[in-house]
Amino acid sequence: MKNRVFLFLFAFLFVACNASDDGPFIKVDPGVEIGTDPKEHNPDSQNGNDNTETSSELLEDITAGFQQLMTIYGFQGAQVAITRNNRLVYLKSFGKADIDANVDVDQNSLFRIAGVSKPITLTAISKLVGEGTIELDDLVFGEGSLLGTKYGSLPYESDELAITLAHLIEHKGGFSDIPYDVMFDDVSLTHADLISKVLNERSLSRRPGTEYEYSNFGYSLLGRIIEEVTGKSYAAYVKEAILTPMGITSMQIGNNVKEEALEHEVTYYADYDSPYTMNVNRMDSHGGWIASAKDLALFAMKSDTENSVPDILEPGERLDYLETGNWNHNGALPGTLSVLQVSYPTSYVVLLNNSAPDFQQIIQAIRDFMREKTQNRAEWPNIDILDNQ
**CA 52 vs CA 284, 379, 384: distances in Å:** 42, 9, 12
Q: Contact at 8 Å (CB) between 186 and 3? A: no
Q: How far apart are CA 332 and CA 10, in angstroms?
A: 7
| Residue 324 confidence (pLDDT) | 95
- 41 vs 282, more confident: 282
pLDDT score at 50? 56
Model confidence over 117-130: pLDDT tens digits? 999 999 999 999 99
Contact yes or no for 74/356 (Cβ under 8 A): yes
Does an H or E element contain 119, and which? helix 117-130
Domain boundaries along the sequence of the chain: 2-118+235-388, 128-230
Query: What residues form DSSP beta bridges with 350?
Result: 80, 339
| CB-count burial class (<10 Å; 0-12, 13-18, 19+) for 243 | buried
Model confidence over 42-66: pLDDT tens digits?
Answer: 443 344 455 545 566 899 999 999 9
Amino acid at 327: W
Q: How far apart are CA 376 and CA 50, in angstroms?
A: 12
* pLDDT (tens digit per residue) in 134-185: 999 999 999 999 999 999 999 999 999 999 999 999 999 999 998 999 999 9
341 neighbors 348 (Cβ within 8 angstroms): yes
Using one digit for the tens of pLDDT, what is the confidence trace for 300-330? 999 999 988 999 999 999 999 999 999 999 9
The pTM assigned to this predicted structure is 0.90
Q: Are 235 and 262 in contact (CB under 8 A)?
A: no
3 state DSSP class of 146: coil
pLDDT tens per residue, range 359-386: 999 999 999 999 999 998 999 999 999 9
The pLDDT assigned to 53 comes to 54
Strand pairing report for 346-352 and 336-342: antiparallel
End-to-end CA distance of the chain: 47
For residue 121, the Cα-to-chain-centroid distance in whole angstroms is 9
User: Residue 10 pLDDT > 60, yes or no?
Assistant: no
Q: Is residue 338 predicted with pLDDT exceeding 90?
A: yes
- Strand positions, DSSP E, the chain: 25-29, 32-35, 49-50, 77-84, 87-98, 103-104, 111-112, 252-253, 289-291, 327-333, 336-342, 346-352, 379-380
pLDDT at 39: 40
Sorted by sequence, the CB contacts under 8 Å of residue 99 that are 6+ apart come out as 76, 267, 269
- Report the range of poorest mean pLDDT among 4-8, 72-76, 103-107: 4-8
For β-strands 103-104 and 87-98, DSSP reports them as: antiparallel
Alpha helices in 239-358 (DSSP H): 284-287, 293-301
pLDDT band at 35 (very low <50, low <70, confident <90, very high): low
Between CA 302 and CA 245 the distance in angstroms is 10
Categorize the per-residue pLDDT at 331 as very low, low, confident or very high, splitting at 50, 70 and 90: very high
Name the CATH superfamily, with its identifier, for domain 2-118+235-388. Answer: DD-peptidase/beta-lactamase superfamily (3.40.710.10)
257-274: average pLDDT: 96
Q: For residue 77, name the pLDDT band (cuts at 50, 70, 90).
A: very high
Q: Which of 165, 170, 122 minimizes the C-alpha distance to 312?
A: 122
Q: What is the mean pLDDT of the chain?
A: 89
pLDDT at residue number 120: 98
What pLDDT, on the 0 to 100 scale, is given for residue 54? 55
Beta carbons within 8 Å of 250's beta carbon, 6+ residues apart? 108, 110, 264, 291, 292, 295
User: What's the pLDDT at 25?
Assistant: 28
In the chain, % of residues over pLDDT 90: 83
Supply the pLDDT for residue 33: 72
Q: Flag whether pLDDT at 30 surpasses 60.
A: no
Q: Which pLDDT score, from 0 to 100, does residue 43 have?
A: 41
